Structure formats: C-alpha cells, structure tokens
Chains A and B, each alone.
Chain A
Amino acid sequence: MSHYYEEQDLERFQEIGKYRPELYDNFMNYYQGVMAGGALTTREKALIALAVAHTVQCPYCIDAYTRASLEVGSNLEEMTEAIHVAAAIRAGATLIHGIQAHNVAAKITI
C-alpha cells in the first residue's frame, strides 16, 4: 500500500460486507433507496451527493459523484455551483461559531 487512499479501493467497497453482511445489506438497501429517483430526481440527488462529498472530503465519493453527475447530464457549471453551496454552508457554520467565541470573550473579559 503506497497511499492511504488507493483509487482501485472504490471498486472493493463490497468487501466491507465480508463481516456482518446483514449490516452491509441493510446499508445497501437504504443507500439504493435513498439515491433512486423520488420527489427529487436522480440528477438533483447526484448534485447533492457531490456537494456532501466535498464537505466530508471523501476522495472516493468525489470521484464517484463527479462521474455520476456527468452521467445524468449535469455540467461543470452546475457541479461547481453545488460545491459552492457546500462551501458556503461550511463557511457559514464556521462564522456562526464565531458567536461562541464572542460569548466566551464577553464572559471572561471586563
């Protein structure tokens, strides 16, 4: 193993099911149910997944959902916009925690 993240490991995902396969099966059923078209289209869901993949910074998910987004007809403009949404929420979440810093500072300063 030359790197912690190996590209080909994505295809080995199902090996996780070797132990406690019932948990893996439960996960897969849930996962496939979530990602199927419903009130949201598969195209919209792929863009959400791509955005989330960036917030969790999972290279496997970024790889998978970049391909998935292209395969449902999305373009780089839409994908980049989705990533910006993720980034904006992360930035906003960071900033709102700044209030905690202010609160702490207010509490301990004269």
Chain B
Amino acid sequence: MDTRSVPLLQVDNLRTRFHIPEGTVYAVNGISFSLNEGETLAVVGESGCGKSVTMLSILKLIPIPPGEIVTGSALFRDKDLIQLSDKEFEDFRGDEIAMVFQDPMTSLNPVLSIGQQLTETLCTHLSINQEEAEKKAIELLELVGIPEAPSRLGCFPHQFSGGMRQRVMIAMALSCTPSLLIADEPTTALDVTIQAQIIELVLHLREQLNMTIIWITHDLGVVAGMADRVIVMYAGFIVEEALVDDLYENPYHPYTHALIGALPRVDRRRDRRLASIPGAPPNLLVEPKSCPFAARCNYVIDKCRAENPPLVYIAPNHKAACWVDIADRSTGPV
C-alpha cells in the first residue's frame, strides 16, 4: 500500500447492526480499510453484503434506531466522523464528502426544479447568494455535459432522462469540490451505453479535480476500467483487498475466484451456461462466528466452520481472509 502520505480516510473496525423485530442484523462486521488522496477504491460484492451500509455508516446516514454503529472509527484527515455531532455533520456532508446514489430516478426531489436543488447545496455550504449560486449551477451542469444549461435550470426531474438525472446528481455531488466522492452503484440503474458515458464522465472529472473516489458496484467489469484498488466484501466482512490488476490475475479468496469466474466474457463459448456461485449468502440475523463463505466454498476445511479467518497480508499490497493456503488450493477443488 502507498505509505507516502497520511491516508485521506482511515476506517477502523467498523461494526454496524440493525435491531429489527426479527432480531439483530449483523450488517457490517469489523471493516477496516484506508484510502489515500487521489486514489480510486472500488468496493464490490453481491447485494446485501454491506457495501452501502458501510459507506452510509461512515457518513452517519443510516437511520438510528434501528441502526447502531457498535464500534469503529472513521478518520477523515484528523477528524473521527463517527464521533461528530449531527450539527457538525451537516456542514461536513456535501462539502468534504459527497455521495452519488444508485437510482437517479428517485434521488432527485420531483417537485423542486433542477436549479433549486443544485443551488441549495451551493448556498448551504459556500455562503454565496442566489445569483452567484445560479451561475455556478450552470457551470456545473455544463461540466457534467448537459447542453443548454441555463435553460435547464428551470426544468423538473421528470423532464430529464435517467442518464441526465445521474449527471445532475453528479453535478450536485461535485458542487462544493469535495475531497472524497462516494459513488454508490451510480450506474446500476442505467443502461450500458449511458453507464459508459457516466463512467467516462467521472474519470474525466477525477482527473480534473484530483478527486478521491470510492466506487461501490457489483459489476467487476466496471471496476477493471477505473479503480486503483479493490475491496471485495462478503456478508459484512472484507474478504479480499488488492490492487486491481493483482486481483484479476491472482484472486486469492475463493469468493473472489467465483465472482471473477461468474463474469460473462466475450471470448467464451456462447452456448455454455454462465457460471454461478451455488447457495445463498448467509443469514445476517445470525452472529457470524465462522467464515461466512464456508457454506458455499469449494475449498472448505473444518477450521473454516469453527473460526473466522482474519484479513491478513498474503503478498505486498494484497490482503485476504481465508484459512486455506494457496499451495493446498493448487490441487484443485475438493
């Protein structure tokens, strides 16, 4: 890992639970990672594995109750976000850290015009007047590639297509030039051509603004093109963390293996069924004591069912949480 500078964000042992009538949901179970300035970190994993909850916990956007951040710290520069009061957080969110959400169709307020929604953030954080805010809003819309920006300010979200709305969401997130942009599956709800446009847009903006990005996705194809480093999550744990090329070339954890194996590829025979991972993710209502992937793992040994493996370095810049050794694995699945 890059040790030149102090990390921009250092998350340590974050645990989030939700207390619901059926019991306790162990959503995030001791997550630690760090993020350097200017880096793009991808967080991948299937639905419900805690990717979004982790990010929402860092921004304290989970509903409390039923949510509860049990332990953990999230040092942003020198401030522990978890300890900030609600009032302090209001100044912080959207200013230093901004977030883009998954579904652009529902993330914009249907009764407020695009201009109103854009200027609101600007006025909240930059202490500028309405006129300046509008000028800035036009700049932002142009920045994200929306034509005829001045006349678009009065439009309402329902007059925009999904891709345009996501561009607006990105413009809103960028309005205060945040140091960190958290993108929570920003392209999942869009079709592939628009998805490509949005990714290209974010890459372009990253270069221009030297932004640090956390990109949550379940699309490994997207990750390959844009991330520096990847975190693979499963059932609220980080199971593997590696530089992006390293992850694709030498996936260590059986889950990462399976994920990459399940990717549809152009160079594979078309008549074969796509590979899938048998079984379902574990019930998060049970406190995890063993390896969460044990039930679906081809390489499982007795130890996996007894004890949860810690996330350890298996190579420079490459961490994984698995009891099974690579040497054993070379013999193939049991």
Q: Are A and B bound to each other?
A: no
Q: Which residues of B are at the interface with A, using a C-beta cutoff of 8 A?
A: none
